Amino acid sequence: MLNSLHSRLALALALLLLAFGGALYFITRHANELYHEEISQKLSSNIASYIRDHLPLTDRTGEPDPAQLKALFQMLMVVNPNVEAYLLDAQGRVRGHAQPDAKVIREQIDLQPVRRFLEGARLPLRADDPKSLNASRIFSVAPLAAGGQTTGYVYVVLTGEDGRNLAEQLAGGYSLATLGAMLGGALLLAMLVGFGLFFALTRPLRELTAEVDALAHAAHPDPQADTILARDEIGRLTQAFHAMSTRIGEQIHTIQLKDRQRRDMVMAVSHDLRTPLTSLRGYLDLLERKLDTLSESDRQRYVGVAARQCRKLCRLSDELFQLAKLECDEVQANAEPFPLADLIQDVVQKFELMAKSRGVNLLADVQPGAEQVTADIGLIERVLVNLLDNALRHTQQGGAVHIQADRNGTRVSVRVTDTGEGIAPEVLPRLFDRDYLAARRDPTRPWGGLGLAIARRILRLHDTDIQVESWQGQGATFTFHLPPAAV
């Protein structure tokens, strides 16, 4: 039951209200007692002076007169049975009273409150009760003087024993019961209102909790619909959670897509590894079994096919190894100045034989100002090799591949342009995606989809990127930029 925040808050509110109600009850009761004591003491503050001035309590020798004290007690019993009168000496000792001797157990009264009363201190004031060793009561007092000296005091306790007994009997009476009932009703109403407020204020939090639970158990989180939210902390938290759940849903979708693409890539790579391996094995087995019976031309043809399949395997394994190293951040660009013109000429010479065999015209052009750049020469060579290899494989006989370099402001632009078949518009946005390229295998063409992904990763190590422009049936242009070498 107490597992929810709402129930714990409600319990805390109930306990707080109960504690507050109990404290308020006792404070109200104490304040009410002080209020009545102040009223009683102010109304009866002159009773001791009246007794002193109108009722002789001592005989001619100054000793208490028992007959006068008895008469005083009887009068007080008729007029106000709640008061008790005592006669004190100058030191506060009880010299006379109208009470049974057994009931008076305190022989001396502390005079400090008496003096404060006579000085006009703020009421209510309490002083010692002669009938108790530790209790104090409100009182009225008047000094007795002779020859200009204080000889004693008329000391009147305003809340006598009978009054206190009656007050204790009425402690559970109608007035206090009414006060308790009113406080209890007010507390109950406050608790109901508080519970309602807590329920209303925590409703967005409960809804958010339900959404979090749904997200935790959902295999495919759906983006949250736009709703009107409060502008408080819970509203902002809910809005942030909606944004987070939307991002999580998008990320899960992306991960699932990437996972499918990786599976497709593994299937494609497996196929492209199995095909040349099967061909290579077949031709080698044939050579092993019929080496003596095959003609020289057949042997050369079989060896040539096996060599081509072996080169294809080497090329594929090299691309996979290079891409794996790039993705694991094992390759770092060691940038240094080098002659870009010489590198382009070396790469073009490597592909001259391939271009001639395909009937493709291979051209190179390095403009003034673009001869020197700052980069990792080995990695840039790999980029140029991949781009030229890709361009030659997609350019038909009679076409041309042109590699250019020129100075463009504060950078050197390198472009590889071919007149081949071009790239379909739907392929362009994902042309450098490894998983997409690997999965998009064309059985009619040599496998080589990882070269462009490797080129982009290498260029990103140099804090640059590669762009592509293509027109269907008119070829494509790949462009990247490098910083020129400092002069």
* Residue pLDDT tens, the chain, 487 long: 556 666 677 777 778 877 877 787 778 777 877 787 788 888 888 888 888 887 777 666 666 666 776 777 667 666 666 778 888 888 999 887 766 655 778 889 899 999 999 998 988 898 988 888 888 888 999 998 877 788 888 888 887 665 555 555 555 555 666 766 777 777 778 778 877 777 776 777 777 777 777 766 665 555 555 555 556 666 677 777 777 777 877 888 888 877 776 676 666 566 666 767 777 787 788 777 877 777 888 878 878 888 877 877 777 777 777 666 666 666 788 889 999 999 999 999 999 988 999 999 999 999 998 889 999 998 999 899 989 988 998 899 999 999 999 998 889 999 999 998 888 888 888 787 766 655 555 544 443 467 888 888 889 888 999 999 998 888 999 999 999 988 6
Does any domain span residue 201? no
Residue 62 sits in a domain whose CATH number is: 3.30.450
Does any domain span residue 211? no
- pLDDT at residue 305, as a whole number: 80
Residues 124 and 144 placed together within one structural domain of the fold:
yes
Does any domain span residue 284? yes
Does any domain span residue 214? no
Instruction: Pick the last residue of a domain from 286, 304, 324.
Output: 324
- pLDDT at residue 447, as a whole number: 35
User: Which domain range does residue 356 map to?
Assistant: 335-482
End-to-end CA distance of the chain: 78
- pLDDT at residue 11, as a whole number: 76
Residues 6+ away with beta carbon under 8 Å from 273: 313, 316
Residues 268 and 299 placed together within one structural domain of the fold:
yes
Residues 136 and 20 placed together within one structural domain of the fold:
yes
Tally of structural domains, the chain? 3
Residues 50 and 151 placed together within one structural domain of the fold:
yes
Phi, psi at residue 80, to the nearest 5°?
-150, 95
Does any domain span residue 24? yes
Residues 347 and 448 placed together within one structural domain of the fold:
yes
Residues 240 and 366 placed together within one structural domain of the fold:
no
Residues 24 and 167 placed together within one structural domain of the fold:
yes
Does any domain span residue 52? yes
- pLDDT at residue 435, as a whole number: 60
- pLDDT at residue 257, as a whole number: 76
- pLDDT at residue 444, as a whole number: 43
Residues 319 and 372 placed together within one structural domain of the fold:
no
Does any domain span residue 329? no
- What pTM was computed for the model? 0.45
